[in-house]
Chain A
Amino acid sequence: MNRLGMMVDISHVADKTFWDAIETSEAPVIASHSSARALTDAPRNMTDDMLRAVAKKGGVVMVNFGKGFVNTKYVKPSPETQAKMDEIRIQYSGDQTTMRAKLRELQGPPPRVPLDMLIDHFVHIAKVAGVDHVGIGSDFDGVGGQLPEGMEDVSKLPAITYELLKRGFSDTDVKKVLGENFLRTMAEVERAAKSLQASGEKPSTAKIGAAPKN
């Protein structure tokens, strides 16, 4: 991927895979849709150490808008409700649609999280990784519509700009978050590929059973 100029995305990978990718990659990496674990303790989010590692690599973390990744005050269901939820999950394990409908019936419509929680993630990552290493990775149409209030669809993106300005980000910093950071990372990945190929790096013919040892 480095040789080709394809960005390595460490969203979704295990923590160990993250650190191996950081160690291996010769170009900046991205987290295309992950938020901050210090605020929302989901394995899909990134710890502060990871945020700093991506920054050091020249990469960028693109904040995911999904409720499960940005809700900083996730309230656990009561043991009673939890037991019923488990029962439904087992009973309808072969039928995801019915399972989801039954769960919704049990819990009622999920409340939207406030936009502030989403903005907190942007602010936290800008603080820990630096304002040069944060961007937008909405996950629209991938989270079952579970999105913050005021960020229900792609038309609402200007709210990010408004909220960040309100929190004191400069025009320049907001432009970075909106797109310039990503453009810089992409350009660096392209440059790294060009220089690898210019230095004679050949397409790899490694097979999975016989990957070369480092």
Chain B
Amino acid sequence: MNHWTASFLLFLFIGCSLFTTEDSQANDAKLRERAMKLHREAIVIDTHNDITSPMTDEGFDLGTRDTSGKVQTDIPRMKEGGLDAEFFAIYVAAKYAKEGGAARRALDMIDGVYEQARRHPESLEMAGASDDIRRIHKAGKIAALMGIEGGHAIEDSLSALRQFYRLGVRYMTLTHTNTNNWADSAGGINNPAEKRHGGLSDFGREVVREMNRLGMMVDVSHVSDETFWDVIETTQAPVIASHSSCRALTNVPRNLTDDMLKALSKNRGVVMINFYNGFINTEYAKPGTPAPAKPANAATMDMLIQHFEHAIKVAGIDHVGIGSDFDGVEGMLPGGMEDVSKLPAITYELLKRGYSDADMKKVLGENLLRVMAEVEEAARKAQASGAKPSFAKINQAKAP
């Protein structure tokens, strides 16, 4: 190669790379625009948010933008994030199982959600069905739904379960980090829960059946592996994991194994990816090794997206959604996903990886809407075919 040829090739190379950079910048801007447009059009649903605690205990007003940096959720930022439906966690801490007052704690939290809807009728509306979510989205408002986190909230009473349904609760996480009187829990981080029932007890199975009959989604986040499989065996409707990620990428008991993802897919259910650093950091708890004592305190957006992609690959595009856990993880969230206003980044990142607009809409909300509608339909059918409320007591549950 002579001098001139080399210069010419160098010139060509620089020219091309400049052109390529400009081109890719333009493409990226286009992609962001497409992502934002799609995100605004789609119904975006998050199935787990713990802002309910400050709403209930500290008089936190959802209508006011929080500038303290302490919380990740408020109505102004929900709107920026294009969020259309939020499941507020009716979180009942394990201590109430010991000290009593679990059902009342749930009632206080439920009242906390209704109070925000009362205060902000122009932005927020209570919803109890998949059709409500579509209608409220059309009206340009955010649908407020509720999920009980911790089955001890029903105090072993199917009557209490029915009344929670009547108040609008549409899913129940069968356990929190504590094993309750009828279901084993996966425990806390490095704090395994007592395994007392080998999964669900007979009464636990009756709880699942009664939830099916009512049309309340069964949530398998937080439960032990044995409980998960007992639920899959027992339920007659699709189930959800309201805030869990993939164990194949981050090896913690709160995440789902590939077999579980496949079972959830077969059950027509949905896994809602949790954003918590401790559940998504792929460097921190590698498969086959126990999780280090200290949870990961950082993670990247790329790691979060890997969890979406893995769940989609294993369970299928129809079985993955968003279960942020905002305001439930002490702010330990990946860079770029610091609060609810950042949700459009999910859409952008997944489009960038080649997902279609239709696929994105599924992940953003349509999958959950489908599951919710199927759960409603299963309940309608069960009731139409004469299924009566169960009055089983915990010590005399019917054998399955």
Contacts and interface: CB of A to CB of B under 8 A. Distances in A.
B259 interface: no
B118 A203 contact: yes
B157 to A, nearest CB: 22
Interface string A162-206: 000000000000000000000000000000000000000001010
Contacts of A203: 111, 115, 118
Contacts of A205: 59
A189 to B, nearest CB: 20
Chain B interface secondary structure, helix, strand, loop or mixed?
helix
A205 B111 CA distance: 10
Interface residues of B, number: 4
A203 B115 CA distance: 8
Contacts of B59: 205
Interface residues of A, number: 2
Nearest to A197: B118
A51 B334 CA distance: 67
Interface in B104-127: 111, 115, 118
Nearest to B114: A203
A128 to B, nearest CB: 40
A199 to B, nearest CB: 15
A117 to B, nearest CB: 38
Nearest to B112: A205
Interface in B55-106: 59
Contacts of B111: 203
Interface string B233-255: 00000000000000000000000
A205 B116 CA distance: 13
A205 B60 CA distance: 12
A133 B115 CA distance: 36
A205 B59 CA distance: 9
A159 to B, nearest CB: 35
Nearest to B118: A203
Nearest to A205: B59
A51 B35 CA distance: 70
A203 B118 CA distance: 10
4 contacts: A203-B111, A203-B115, A203-B118, A205-B59
Interface of A: 203, 205
Interface of B: 59, 111, 115, 118
> Closest 4 A-B residue pairs measured CB to CB?
A203-B115, A205-B59, A203-B118, A203-B111
